[in-house]
Amino acid sequence: MNVARTQQGAGGDPIAFVDLRRQYAELAPAIDAAVGRVLQTGAFILGDEVARFEASFAAYCGTKHCIGVASGLDALALILKGLGLGADDEVILPANTFIATALAVSQTGATPVLVDHDPHTYNIDPARVRPAITRRTRAILPVHLYGRPADMLQIQRIASEYGLIVVEDACQAHGATSRDHRCGSLARAAAFSFYPGKNLGAAGDAGAVVTDDDELADRIRLARNYGSRVKYRHDAQGGNSRLDNLQAAILNVKLPHLDRWNDRRRAIAQAYRTGLAKLPLVLPEEGPESRHVYHLFVIRCEARDALATHLKDHGIDTGIHYPVPIHRQPAYATGCIPLRPLTYSEMFADHLLSLPMHPHMTMREVDRVIAAVRGFYGAAGTLREATVPVESVTPSFRSGESAEVAEPAGTSTRR
């Protein structure tokens, strides 16, 4: 392997998977000024910047409340705890997601029930939700994976039928919309992460809960701050999960740019789709009545590892989201219920590759990625349609084959 080529790539400088230095360079004067204001005040815990961000982000999402917390994981866990979930409860979520979704359920004492995802959207498959419902089921936790909204209309219909709570994991969907409503406003409550690489990212860990539920918002505000509204008076047994003033100041600078950055992500995604057409790849799809914001641009291919190595040799960074399904993680050798078959979650883990995607990519860099991918397949002489069409791997699962379908009254005997 040519070391110089690996470091610099063929035809230019390395292409980063995400380049936060460019984002900072665009907004440096405003970010520096905002951080300076906080440093000069000496107010670092909660504070005016947090209050300002909470008001702005609630308005952006179209919700009454935004509560800033320390991370996306904390946001999810605080919602579920605030809704009263605990031992003996079950929460249905997709097997294809970052482990934090399951960890939040486990932190309440409830049990994650993992179901397969739709092969076209990569989001939770509503058809798999109904057979997973038992008397213990309390909530459904869809994830808007990679920036594409889940099918909330179908999920809400099922939840209404069985009297279940719906909570959005919107940690990858800042600004995404479904039927003209932003993610975050599509369920009882929603969790966001502002991890630096997100569409809206802080300079460290940060998160938020958004909701229209006044009582839930009040419980979460207490829980994030030691159960206290007034210093040294504690009305509940809370914890410490507060969005700090420095991170909020940075988010206040970035939020007005989010829609423009999302438009740029969508333009890059369209360029990828055009340039990578007719290769043996499955490309992300746009959903009807929804707006994908491409937190990630994830392709599916058979020779994933070889393609990733080829791109690395050309100075192009890639990612895998996610290489090991939750139910195959040592942390969940016990403590979760994988509702099999999990055909797509298990198979696609070996076939998914995330290409560079961030709003500060140049089109020249996008063209370099396209050229390198095309070169990989052109060299192999395999310019043809995808060799693993979705239809060829359709699982044999039908309602009732691996689980009894629950009746609306909650009488399922799945186990």
Looking at residue 322, what is its pLDDT?
95
Q: Rounded mean pLDDT of 1-17?
A: 61
The pLDDT of 199-209, averaged and rounded, is 98
Looking at the domain assignment, is residue 172 inside a domain? Answer: yes
pLDDT in tens, 245-278: 999 999 999 999 999 999 999 999 999 999 999 9
Angle between the 245-254 and 48-61 helix axes, to the nearest 10 degrees?
Answer: 40
Does 39 map to a domain? yes
On whether both 240 and 285 belong to a single domain, the answer is no
- What pLDDT, on the 0 to 100 scale, is given for residue 11? 60
pLDDT at 318 over 60: yes
Q: What is the pTM of this model?
A: 0.90
pLDDT value, residue 12: 78
In the predicted model, what is the mean pLDDT of the chain?
Answer: 90
pLDDT of residue 413: 37
* 252 in the same domain as 262: no
One domain for residues 42 and 168: yes
Same domain, 163 and 287: no
| pLDDT digit string, tens, across residues 36-75 | 999 999 999 999 999 999 999 999 999 999 999 999 999 9
Summarize the confidence of residues 13-19 as an average pLDDT.
97
Q: Are 337 and 388 found together in one domain?
A: yes
Same domain, 133 and 220: yes
Do 235 and 355 fall within a single domain? no
Residue 214: both structure tokens together: 């006044």
Q: Is the pLDDT of residue 393 over 70?
A: no
Hey, what are 327's tokens? 């139910």
Q: What 3 state SS string does the chain have?
A: CCHHHHHHCCCCCCECCCCHHHHHHHHHHHHHHHHHHHHHHCCCECCHHHHHHHHHHHHHHCCCEEEEECCHHHHHHHHHHHCCCCCCCEEEEECCCCCHHHHHHHHCCCEEEEECECCCCCCECHHHHHHHCCCCEEEECCECHHHCCCCHHHHHHHHHHHCCEEEEECCCCCCCEECCEECCCCCCEEEEECCCCCCCCCCCCCEEEEECCHHHHHHHHHHHECCEEECCEECCCCCECCCEHHHHHHHHHHHHHHHHHHHHHHHHHHHHHHHCCCCCCECCCCCCCEECCCCCEEEECCCHHHHHHHHHHCCECCECCCCCCHHHCHHHCCCCEECCCCHHHHHHCCCEEEECCCCCCCHHHHHHHHHHHHHHHHHHCCCCCCCCCHHHHCCCCCCCCCCCCCCCCCCCCCC
List, for residues 371-390, the tens digit of each pLDDT value.
999 999 994 433 333 344 44
Q: What is the mean pLDDT of residues 292-314?
A: 97
- pLDDT at 10 (0 to 100): 55
Task: Kindly state whether residues 300 and 381 are assigned to the same domain.
Answer: yes
Q: How high is the pLDDT of residue 93? A: 98
What CATH number corresponds to the domain at position 90? 3.40.640.10
- Residues 246 and 264 reside in one and the same domain: no
404 falls within a domain: no
Count of domains for the chain: 2
- Which among 236, 256, 276 is the end of a domain? 256
The CATH number assigned to the domain holding 352 equals: 3.90.1150.10
Percent of the chain topping pLDDT 90 = 88
For residue 147, pLDDT over 80 is answered with yes
Q: Is residue 381 part of a domain?
A: yes
Cβ-contact 182, 176 below 8 angstroms: yes
How much is the average pLDDT of 82-97? 97
399 lies in some domain: no
Residue that is last in its domain, among 256, 276, 306:
256
Contact 171, 193 (CB under 8 A): yes
What is the pLDDT, as a whole number, of residue 214? 98
Q: Which domain holds residue 346?
A: 3-19+257-393
Answer yes or no: do 132 and 190 share one domain: yes
Return the pLDDT at 292: 98
Q: Both 236 and 268 in a single domain?
A: no
Residue 186 sits in the same domain as residue 310: no
